[in-house]
Amino acid sequence: MTDFDALLTTLWQHEVAFIVVGGAAAIAHGSARLTQDLDIPFIWDTATLARGLNFTLVTSLGEIDLLGEIPGGGTYEELVAEAVERRWRSWKRSKKKVGERRAIVANLPDLLAPYRHIQLSRRRQV
pLDDT per position as a tens digit, 19-54: 888 888 888 888 887 888 888 887 766 665 666 667
C-alpha span between 64 and 71 (Å, rounded)? 17
DSSP category for residue 42: B
C-alpha span between 105 and 20 (Å, rounded)? 5
Report yes or no on whether pTM surpasses 0.85. Answer: no
Distances (CA, A) of 44 to 17, 50, 82: 10, 10, 19
Check pLDDT > 70 for residue 9.
Answer: yes
What is the arithmetic mean of pLDDT over 79-98? Answer: 68
Close Cβ partners of 22 (under 8 Å, ≥ 6 residues apart) = 35, 37, 38, 39, 65, 111
What is the arithmetic mean of pLDDT over 95-119? Answer: 74
Close Cβ partners of 103 (under 8 Å, ≥ 6 residues apart) = 8, 20, 28, 85, 86, 87, 88
